[in-house]
Chains A and B, each alone.
Chain A
Amino acid sequence: MTELDHIGAALDVQSTAAAPPVPESRSRVARLAWKILPPVVFFVLFVAFLYLVSYVLLSPERQFLLPPPHEVVQNGLFDWPNLHEQLIALKDTTKVSLIGLLIAFVIGTALAILMSQAEWIERSLYPYAVIVQVTPILAIVPLIALWFGYDVQARVVVCVLISIFPIITNTLFGLLTVDKNLHDLFTLQGAGRLTRLWRLQLPHAIPDIFVGLRVSAGLSVIGAIVGEFFFRQGTPGLGRLLDVYRARLESDLLMSTLLFCCLLGIAVFLAVGVVGNRLTRKWFEQGERA
């Protein structure tokens, strides 16, 4: 009960200070605590809830539906053969999703540049970009399997298809929203299309490109896992492991693999964000642009 009291007290402190932003005068430690404490408190509550369900609400013979968290950690993360299997899968999935993201970035940026050059190109291509976006990826997976087989390349194709749209739209937005006066400045100096693209539009679009990449990074990881899950063949990635553990009713391993899926998604998302911030931090006021 003391632990709960403690959490309650912590929550109380948070809520009274919630309205105004943290004043500058507070120490670094206090600000860091302010950032970290709320999600930590939530995590503790969530884990407590899992134990509650696992031990109290589920009868012992049905406990396999939701194994207690320490078993997930023990069997999934501290049992070497199991961990090894998952790490290999993690490596494989990481590879597929990064290759997919890179290809989506190259093709997506190229398409956006093409579309920015003439309205008729934009109007010819954009509807199909939307169609790729709205078609459920699961609906195309069988077709992709038919065309590209079941191995790495097929999974990469899934990643590209699922993650290309945010890159196209955000890049296009960045290319087309350059200040009119800046365009006038380039016009007065007789700048051509390529100069304008290279020295004005593309640098201007960099923050938007990173917004798109960040969304796409998460999607690409999903694409890799979904692809593996449904192909059920080829080198084993996280998606394939999920399917295997599900079939064996090994819910502890299922959950630890799920943890790896989340971690991979978060890692890629954060990595892209950090690179983007580093690149554009000098250019924009905080919050002025994404």
Chain B
Amino acid sequence: MSGTFAREQPSGRPEQGEQVIAFRSAGKVFPDGTEAVRDVSFTLRRGEFLSVVGPSGCGKSTLLRMASGLGPHTSGEVEAEAANIGFVFQDATLLPWRTVRKNVELLAELDGASKAERQRIAADAIRLVGLEGFEGHYPKALSGGMRMRTSVARALTMKPPLFLLDEPFGALDEITRGTLNEELQRLFVSERFAAIFITHSISEAVFLSTRVLVMSQRPGRIVESFDVPFGYPRSPELRFDPEFGRLSGEVSQALKAGYE
């Protein structure tokens, strides 16, 4: 695992590494003329966790597709340095005809890894998300939270320097969501990737991130950027800290301003 250093400074934040992606005045206009995203600029390094909040339909998902190259930008620049990207979708997006193990092996398999290699990689990833014992299960037999874990494990197998997460826990209940937030945070600390995390939940954004971007309504622009000062690992009780509350309040204010 690449993130041994994080355990050396458990109360700090992951050391920031090389730049993985940079947006420079990037914008996106769809062929039908709809302008989804306008003039977005930010850079992201390894060890940074960037959350993006904004009103529905403001182009958050479009931003992720621009970052991944799935839906390229139409103006400005997007400089993507990451050799590969871990994409976690809103749904678990698993193949129903494959067991958990085979689902987790998928990306390595598409990459042409040998059988032994992908079994090793998959076993590691399954252990990281705590799904041992469920390797032989089909997605049908799993709960929503476990499906999402499988999806995260699959993304982990390629050890991507950049994770793109599109509201991954939106469909889960509050308790499961909280647990998965903590696990994602733990993975972030140990694997030291860079992440762009799309969410509707302000507390989720503040809890996980080193930085929170607030987007306006369509065309989506960045109206405000907040640095989150807390170190990692963060305990769930952090949510009741006055400082946490104050910061969440500010993000909320900026979000409301973006609606106008």
Contacts and interface: CB of A to CB of B under 8 A. Distances in A.
A200 to B, nearest CB: 7
B230 interface: no
A204 B106 CA distance: 15
A189 B69 CA distance: 12
A283 B97 contact: yes
Contact of B97 (A181, A188, A203): A203
Contact of A186 (B90, B91, B110, B138): B110
A119 interface: no
A181 B135 CA distance: 23
B16 interface: no
B121 to A, nearest CB: 14
A207 to B, nearest CB: 9
Given A181-B93, A182-B93, A185-B93, A282 B111 contact: no
B257 interface: no
Nearest to B139: A283
Interface string B77-117: 00000001101011101011100000000110111000000
Interface string A201-222: 0011010000000000000000
B154 to A, nearest CB: 8
A285 B140 CA distance: 6
Contact of A191 (B95, B110, B140): B110
Contacts of A179: 91, 93
Given A199-B110, A282-B138, A285-B140, A188 B87 contact: yes
A12 interface: no
A203 to B, nearest CB: 5
A195 B109 CA distance: 10
Contacts of A204: 97
A187 B85 CA distance: 11
Contact of A282 (B90, B95, B106, B140): B140
A284 interface: yes
Nearest to B137: A282
Interface string B124-147: 000000000000001010000000
Interface residues of A, number: 22
Interface residues of B, number: 20
Contacts of B140: 282-285
Contact of A182 (B84, B95, B107): B95
B11 to A, nearest CB: 35
A187 B70 contact: yes
B217 interface: no
Given A189-B110, A190-B110, A283-B138, A200 B85 contact: no
A184 B68 CA distance: 10
Interface string A169-200: 00000000001011011111111000100011
A203 B97 CA distance: 7
B107 A189 contact: yes
B95 A203 contact: yes
Contacts of B91: 179, 181
A223 B84 CA distance: 54
B52 to A, nearest CB: 18
Nearest to B93: A181
Contact of A284 (B90, B96, B110): B96
A203 B98 CA distance: 10
Contacts of B70: 184, 187-188
A280 B97 CA distance: 8
A188 B68 contact: yes
The 5 closest A-B pairs by CB, nearest first: A283-B96, A189-B110, A181-B93, A181-B89, A203-B97
Given A282-B138, A283-B97, A283-B138, 9 more contacts: A181-B91, A182-B95, A184-B70, A185-B89, A188-B87, A195-B110, A203-B97, A283-B96, A284-B140
22 contacts: A179-B93, A181-B91, A184-B68, A184-B70, A184-B89, A185-B89, A185-B107, A186-B110, A187-B70, A188-B70, A189-B107, A189-B110, A189-B111, A199-B106, A199-B109, A200-B95, A203-B97, A204-B97, A206-B97, A282-B138, A283-B138, A284-B140
